[in-house]
């Protein structure tokens, strides 16, 4: 008690400097000591990686199914490297009444990663779970909005309230949003799924148009979701200092993203150093290769997963050696090496 009182007797700016280096687990434990500690901890949560799950197994599956992003070796990435997932699973008791009290788990993905598991979620319908997920995510963002600089979110869907709360983060510098491919909510009716997709498209419009942090954005990573090339371009048009961009599994992001990067962004944005396009971006053809010619200053380019049926991997690699001269370049995989098709007997489906 004496040591705690001594610490809190220090000037607030000194305590803030100490708390700045603490991982989330230690920071949250410090916030539970008293009200003054809570206010100090809330104002010092600068980095957050957050996911909400219905079960521990769902959290593990989500982590295992997440895209493994390569780490540049010659230039520094703004995003932490993937460390792996904790495989520990604990059983929870089934009470007669459902309990929505969230339980936090700190895995092995890093000191700023938090996985929130909703207790007794199996007793709740899809609509209730989605509402709780959206309200909890929005609450966390708003609570720490004054200090957050680096945000990594794993969302079931992007809603309008979440988009508005993200848009208002004044100090945001790096943003990573992953829309879950693994269904966290079982038994979702077709009408609810359609309405969620429509709202997600509206939410992307709000986020890309109203983000107050866009002019100061350093790195952006988007995975999945209903975002389009036009919406990505709208956001990046105001992010001239962005040095790192990743787009993965964004089905609505087509060849237009290459046209924007080459024609509108490259000449005014000499800071772009890292670019990764994975399983989106349209067909990789000679026109796209010519557009990449204009992206001067790139130190890292990742194209694995981009459709390249008309251009072989060897041709793209040769293009880099001859024209682009990007130090770290990972070409697309030729269709013949993208996997084997396995036929299944319908009787076993």
Range from 100-109, 189-198, 312-321 that averages highest in pLDDT = 312-321
**Which stretches of the chain are assigned E, i.e. beta strand?**
47-53, 102-105, 113-118, 150-155, 174-179, 219-223, 244-248, 274-278, 300-302, 328-330
In this prediction, what percent of the chain has a pLDDT beyond 70? 72
Cα of 30 vs its chain's centroid, Å = 27
Average pLDDT in the 105-130 region?
70
Per mean pLDDT, which range of 57-66, 67-76, 179-188 is the poorest? 179-188
Q: Give the residue among 43, 14, 11 at the shortest CA–CA distance from 27.
A: 43
Residues in the chain: 349
Q: Considering Cα of 32, then 36, then 41, then 43, what sign does the dihedral take?
A: positive
Mean pLDDT of 284-294: 90
Element (H, E) at 126: helix 126-143
CA angle (209, 239, 233) in 5-degree steps: 55
Residues 325-340 pLDDT 10s: 999 999 988 655 444 4
Give mean pLDDT, residues 239-263.
92
Question: What does the pLDDT read at residue 84?
Answer: 47
29: pLDDT strictly greater than 90: no
DSSP assignment of 224-253 equals SSS--HHHHHHHHTT-TT--EEEEES-TT-
- Which residue from 208, 262, 206, 207 is spatially nearest to 230, judged by alpha carbons? 208
Residues β-bridged to residue 116: 52, 104
- What pTM does this model have? 0.80
**The token pair that represents 115 in the structure block:** 């996985």
The conformational region for residue 176 under phi > 0 = left, psi -120 to 50 = alpha, else beta, is beta
Q: CA end-to-end span of the chain, whole Å?
A: 63
Q: What's the mean pLDDT when you consider all of the chain?
A: 80
Q: Which residues contact 84 (CB under 8 A, 6 or more apart)?
A: 63, 108, 109
Q: What percent of the chain has pLDDT over 90?
A: 39
215: its two tokens: 């002019």
Distance (Å, whole) CA 332 – CA 314: 9
Q: Is the dihedral of CA 199, 205, 208, 210 positive or negative?
A: negative
pLDDT at 112 over 80: no
Task: Convert 244-257 to b/e letters by CB count within 10 Å (16 or more is b).
Answer: bbbbbbbeebbbeb
Structure tokens at 220: 């952006």
Least confident of 70-79, 120-129, 135-144, 159-168: 120-129
Which residue carries 């209903």 as its tokens?
226
Q: What is the 3-state secondary structure (H, E, C) of 12-72?
A: HHHHHHHHCCCCHHHHHHHHCCCHHHHHHHHCCCCEEEEEEECCHHHHHHHHHHCCCCCCC
Q: What is the DSSP letter of 169?
A: -
pLDDT-based confidence at residue 311 (cuts at 50, 70, 90): confident
What pLDDT shows up at residue 288? 92
User: How many angstroms from the chain centroid is the CA of residue 235?
Assistant: 16
Per-residue pLDDT, 81: 67
Highest-confidence range of 39-53, 57-71, 164-178, 335-349, by mean pLDDT?
Answer: 164-178
What's the pLDDT tens digit per position in 132-179? 899 999 988 988 888 888 999 999 999 999 999 999 999 999 999 999
Check: CB of residue 281 under 8 Å from CB of residue 253.
yes
Interacting residues of 127 by C-beta distance below 8 A, sequence separation 6+: 192
Whether the CB-CB separation of 161 and 138 falls below 8 Å is answered with: yes
**pLDDT band for position 186 (50/70/90)?**
low
Three-class secondary structure of residue 183 per DSSP? coil
């Amino acid at each position: 008690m004496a040591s705690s009182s001594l610490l809190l007797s220090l000037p607030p700016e000194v305590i803030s400097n100490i708390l700045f280096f603490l991982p989330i687990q230690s920071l949250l434990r410090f916030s539970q000591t008293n009200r003054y500690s809570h206010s100090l901890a809330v104002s010092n949560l600068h980095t957050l990686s957050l996911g909400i799950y219905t079960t521990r197994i769902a959290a593990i599956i989500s982590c295992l199914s997440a895209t493994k992003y390569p780490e540049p070796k010659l230039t520094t990435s703004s995003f932490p490297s993937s460390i792996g997932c904790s495989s520990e699973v604990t059983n929870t008791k089934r009470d007669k009444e459902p309990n929505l009290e969230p339980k936090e788990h700190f895995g092995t993905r890093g000191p700023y990663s938090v996985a929130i598991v909703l207790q007794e979620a199996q007793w709740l319908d899809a609509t209730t779970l989605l509402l709780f997920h959206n309200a909890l995510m929005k609450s966390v963002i708003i609570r720490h909005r004054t200090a957050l600089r680096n945000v990594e979110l794993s969302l079931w869907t992007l809603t309008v309230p979440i988009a508005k709360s993200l848009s208002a983060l004044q100090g945001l510098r790096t943003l990573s949003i992953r829309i879950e491919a693994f269904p966290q909510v079982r038994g979702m009716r077709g009408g609810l799924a359609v309405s969620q997709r429509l709202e997600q498209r509206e939410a992307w419009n709000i986020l890309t148009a109203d983000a107050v942090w866009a002019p100061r954005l350093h790195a952006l990573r988007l995975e999945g979701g209903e975002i389009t090339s036009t919406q990505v371009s709208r956001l990046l048009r105001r992010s001239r200092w962005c040095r790192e961009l990743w787009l993965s599994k964004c089905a609505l992001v087509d060849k237009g993203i290459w046209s924007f990067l080459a024609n509108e962004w490259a000449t005014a944005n000499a800071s772009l150093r890292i670019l990764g396009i994975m399983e989106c971006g349209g067909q990789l053809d000679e026109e796209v290769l010519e557009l990449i010619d204009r992206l001067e200053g790139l130190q890292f380019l990742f194209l694995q997963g981009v459709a390249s049926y008309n251009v072989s991997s060897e041709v793209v690699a040769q293009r880099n050696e001859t024209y682009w001269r990007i130090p770290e370049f990972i070409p697309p995989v030729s269709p013949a090496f993208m996997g084997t098709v396995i036929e299944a007997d319908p009787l076993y489906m």
